[in-house]
A and B are shown apart, each in its own frame.
Chain A
Amino acid sequence: MIHAILFVIMIIGGTALLSWPLGRYMHWAMDPGAGRGKGNRLTATFQAIGGAATAPTQDWKRYVVSLLGFNVVMFVICFAILALQPYLPLNPDGRQALEGSLIYNTTSSFVANTNLQHYSGEVAMSYLSQLAALMWLQFVSAAVGLAALAALARGLAGRTLGNFFVDVQRATFLVLLPLALVVALLLLLTGVPMTFEGSAVATTLEGVQQTIARGPVAAFVAIKQLGTNGGGFFGPNSTHPLENPSFWSNVLQTMSIIIIPMGCVWMFGGIIGRMKHAAVLFTVMLVLMGARITGAVGFESAPTHAFANLPITQDVGNLEGKELRFGTAAGPVWAVVTTSTSNGSVNAMHDSLNPLTGLMPMIGMWLNEDFGGVGVGMINMFLYIVVGVFIAGMMIGRTPEYLGWRVEAKEVKFAMMGLLSHGFFILVGTAIFAATPWGAATLNNIGPHGFSEILYEFSSAAANNGSGFEGLGDNTVAWNIATGTVMLLARFIPIILPLAIVGSLSVKRRATESSGTLSVEDGTFAGMLTVTVVIVGALTFFPAATLGPIAEHVMFMK
């Protein structure tokens, strides 16, 4: 147990410390402020690259239209590359054409920063598809999230939102690219392959042929982890020894999952000029995530139930679907971290986690705000803040305010629509697929665990996460179209609505904060926000949780 505790402290504590300087840097990179410093000279470069539409500052509607326009171009390019795969170069293993609904699902998935994968990378994708379609989107889709957060923060600071086309380049070239390069080079040292040669064919010591898929993995994995993307180069993601070869590659990759989402909180605080408020938000997020990590590590230390009456030792935790080189706590820690953020990569098979361990990642995806996806996690938290200050204001009979902006019915309606759409996509989708052969015919496990497979899949799509209970046979037309569409809606609704809220706030007169204002920098606010998150989450999802993981636990784990 002491090893597990040390491991958690190293990963979470270390990343939290590193996120502070990173967040300060991200603040400078995304929002260098006025003046003639280096940051603003770069703006001229980005305007030269982007052309006419990069010049004006945009109101929230212009910003959203630009964001959506860029995403349309992302979608078209990725769709075209995947559709034309057999005719394009860098295909040493001769990967064939993909089925239409799978192309739709995969493209939606990578555009939406989700990386739900209904294909297996080493079976289906050429190196060109992996790099120019999927890895490219791993960069720019994460950049879109960062841009949206920067715009939101500027609006809350009482300034104009900026220009999307400049922001998305700042995020790509100044934040994601240098970090990805550092992580990719470190991954090389841990033994991750980086080659354009096709599969190797080995003859094993016992004389059997083994075909070894490989490829340009290191470059891909770095941005997959950093951009809360999560789509693996290989089918089984970072459980694959060539994608995650050692204890130290696993440490590096776990930290890479969460460092930018953590940095986003500090960046937000920097832009609105309220670092103490950011520290409060950071603490709330850390507590919510820490609770799930504790739960997951604890639940997963129970031995594999299926081995109970066999001549098999029962003194280690559940090792089905886990790799030995990462150590015992690494699987549950990663499972929580990857679903706290909207990353969705895995280093252990979530389908094979103990029932209540498997509930922890689901809760992460249901709340989807601590620390959440790159940029969008903090934006989701903003929705909870709007609801939280509104409830607090109602309870004590004061006008609800956030950072001096009066929060009124219209803003709260938008925030509730954002939060409730999340539950709507998950619960309605799960209900339809659990009741029809679309879902029921695709299960790998029976009983409540089968229900969990469907629930997890829709949670993952709606949270733009991308992990799965991978036993689910999800490469069907019904699954591809349903989750593909949910991913797109669940991506853009929680970006558009918060920007609309800021647009609605910013035309109001901003009050100066006084001693009568509810502080957003103290423990009361932290408590209120935590309670809001937990209550909204529990009211929405508890019934579904009882039908899946909780039922399975009660049936078997007593």
Chain B
Amino acid sequence: METLLSSVRIALATMLVCVGGYTGVVWAVGTAVTPQMAQGSLITTADGRVIGSRQLAQAFTQPQYFWPRPSAVDYNAAAAGGSNKSPTSTDLTDRASKTAAAFGATPQNPLPAELAAASGAGLDPHITERAARYQAARVASARSLPVEAVNALIDRSAFSPGGILTPDRLVNVLEINLALDKTALR
């Protein structure tokens, strides 16, 4: 009985401090110091409409936009997930051959593997710099822009996520597509 009573008292005390106090402090600091990211890094238009999250991929299928990596959940940010297929699976071969065809890949101009492989959550917001360059000609021709202009935009957008620890430079797909739309308006 004493055991049970002490257990309940300690359960309540830890609940109070670790759930109430701790969560409250983290929430207060997040709201005060990183309010934008604490809300999910949402991007809104001037009139307040939410376009998406800077950290999440969204579907792009039109030729004038850069396309993200494939998503096993069709970019569903309310129920994210991966394909969970073995790398030896024929299902994966079927999916990848469709993706390669959509990008117009040929043996002479093979698709970068990261554009054929679905990410873990299906929401990877990035592609590599070379995956962006792979799509530059399509984007440029759909927008009647010189391909140099698109490549220059890729240069400006690419960043190295971990400095010297990550050799591949990445491009945020939603951000570069927003920048493209802005360029078109100018």
Q: Which residues of chain A have a CB within 8 Å of any CB of chain B?
A: 3, 6-7, 10, 49-54, 65-66, 69-70, 72-74, 77, 120, 122-123, 131-132, 135-136, 139-140, 143, 165, 168-169, 172-173, 176-177, 180-181, 184-185, 188-189, 191-197, 199-206, 208, 210-214, 216, 218-219, 222-223, 234-236, 239-242, 245-248, 251, 303-307, 309-316, 318-328, 346-349, 351-355, 444-446, 449, 469-471, 552, 555-557
Chain A-chain B contacts (Cβ-Cβ < 8 Å), number: 389
Interface residues of B in 5-29 (CB under 8 A from A): 5-11, 13-15, 17-19, 22-23, 25-27, 29
Chain B residues closer than 8 Å to A235, beta-carbon distance: 79-81
B13 CB to nearest A CB, Å: 5
Known contacts A205-B60, A470-B82; is A324 also within 8 Å of B127 by CB?
yes
Give me 30 A-to-B residue pairs in the complex whose CB atoms sit less than 8 angstroms apart, sorted by A's number. A3-B166, A6-B164, A52-B2, A70-B7, A120-B81, A123-B79, A135-B23, A136-B19, A140-B18, A165-B6, A165-B7, A191-B55, A205-B65, A210-B52, A210-B59, A214-B40, A219-B22, A223-B18, A236-B122, A240-B123, A305-B88, A310-B97, A311-B106, A312-B110, A321-B117, A324-B128, A324-B168, A325-B161, A352-B85, A470-B82
Residues of B within 8 A of A (CB): 2-11, 13-15, 17-19, 22-23, 25-27, 29-31, 33-34, 37-42, 49-53, 55-62, 65, 69, 75-90, 92-93, 96-97, 100, 105-107, 109-114, 116-128, 161-162, 164-168, 170, 174, 177-178, 181
Q: Closest chain B residue to A201 by CB distance? A: B50
Tell me whether B22 and A177 are in contact (CB under 8 A).
yes
Query: If the complex has contacts A69-B4, A131-B23, are A325 and B61 also in contact, measured as CB distance less than 8 A?
Result: no
Contact across chains for B79 and A122 when beta carbons are under 8 A apart: yes
Given the complex of chains A and B, what is the CA–CA distance between A254 and B17 in angstroms? 26
Q: A3-B167, A177-B22, A348-B120 are in contact. Are A307 and B113 (CB under 8 A)?
A: yes
Instruction: Enumerate chain A residues within 8 angstroms of B41, measured Cβ to Cβ.
Output: 191, 193, 242, 245
Whether A353 lies near B23 (C-beta < 8 A) is no
- Most central of A312, A313, A348 by chain B CB within 10 Å: A312
The docked-state distance in angstroms from the alpha carbon of A444 to that of B92 is: 12
Residues on A with beta carbons closer than 8 Å to the beta carbon of B96: 304, 306-307, 310, 312
Besides A51-B5, A320-B85, 14 new A-B residue pairs in contact (Cβ under 8 A), listed by A number: A52-B6, A193-B38, A204-B51, A205-B177, A205-B181, A210-B75, A212-B56, A212-B77, A240-B120, A310-B93, A320-B87, A327-B166, A328-B168, A470-B81
Nearest neighbor of B57 in chain A, beta-carbon distance: A241
A residues near B82, Cβ cutoff 8 Å: 236, 239, 320-321, 349, 351-352, 470
Given contacts A216-B23, A552-B86, whether A73 and B165 have CB atoms under 8 Å apart is: no
Given A193-B37, A321-B82, A327-B166: A312 touches B100 (CB 8 Å cut-off): yes
Contacts of A172 in B (CB 8 A): 14, 17-18
A180 CB contact (under 8 Å) in B22, B107, B178 = B22
On chain A, the residues within 8 Å of B55 by CB distance are 191, 241-242, 245
- Check if B13 sits within 8 Å of A49, measured CB to CB: yes
Knowing A234-B121, A239-B119, the reply to whether A449 touches B6 (Cβ < 8 A) is no
A311 to chain B, nearest CB (A): 4
- Nearest-CB residue, chain B, relative to A187: B26
* Closest partner residue, chain B, to A168 (CB atom): B10
B84 to A307, Cβ gap below 8 A? no
- Contact in complex: A136, B121 (CB < 8 Å): no
Given contact pairs A202-B58, A208-B59, A324-B127, A122 touches B80 in the complex (Cβ within 8 A): yes
Contacts of B92 in A (CB 8 A): 304, 306-307, 320
Knowing A10-B165, A122-B78, A445-B89, the reply to whether A73 touches B11 (Cβ < 8 A) is: yes
Which chain A residues lie closer than 8 Å to B128 at the CB level?
324
Q: Are B3 and A66 in contact (CB under 8 A)?
A: yes
Distance A214 CA – B82 CA, assembled complex (angstroms): 18
Task: Please give, as numbers and ranges, the residues of chain B lying within 8 Å of A470 by CB-CB distance.
Answer: 81-82, 84
Min Cβ gap A59→B in Å is: 14
Collect the chain A residues with CB atoms within 8 Å of residue B177's CB: 205
The answer to whether B87 touches A305, judged by C-beta atoms less than 8 angstroms apart, is yes
Point out the residue from A197, A242, A346 that lies within 8 Å of B120, measured CB to CB: A346
Q: How far apart sit A120 and B80, CA to CA, in the bound complex (Å)?
A: 9
From residue B183, how far is it (CB to closest CB) to chain A in Å? 14
A140 touches B52 (CB 8 A): no
Closest to B126 in A: A324
Which residue of chain B lies nearest to A46 when distances are taken between CB atoms in the complex?
Answer: B10
On whether the beta carbons of B40 and A322 are closer than 8 Å, the reply is no
Instruction: Return chain B residues, CB-CB under 8 Å to A195.
Output: 27, 30-31, 38-40
Q: Which residues of A contact B40 (CB under 8 A)?
A: 193, 195, 200, 212, 214, 242
Measured in the bound complex, the distance between the Cα atoms of B128 and A364 in whole Å is 32
In the complex, what residues of A have CB within 8 A of residue B164's CB? 3, 6
Q: Tell me, in angstroms, the Cα distance from A106 to B75 when the chains sit together.
A: 27
Rounded to whole angstroms, the CA-CA distance of A316 and B117 in the bound complex is 11
Interchain nearest-CB distance for A222 vs B (Å) = 8
Q: How far is the CA of A475 from the CA of B51 in the complex (A)?
A: 34
- Taking a contact as CB atoms under 8 Å apart, the answer to whether A213 and B77 are in contact is yes
Closest 4 CB pairs of A and B: A239-B120, A471-B84, A194-B30, A306-B92
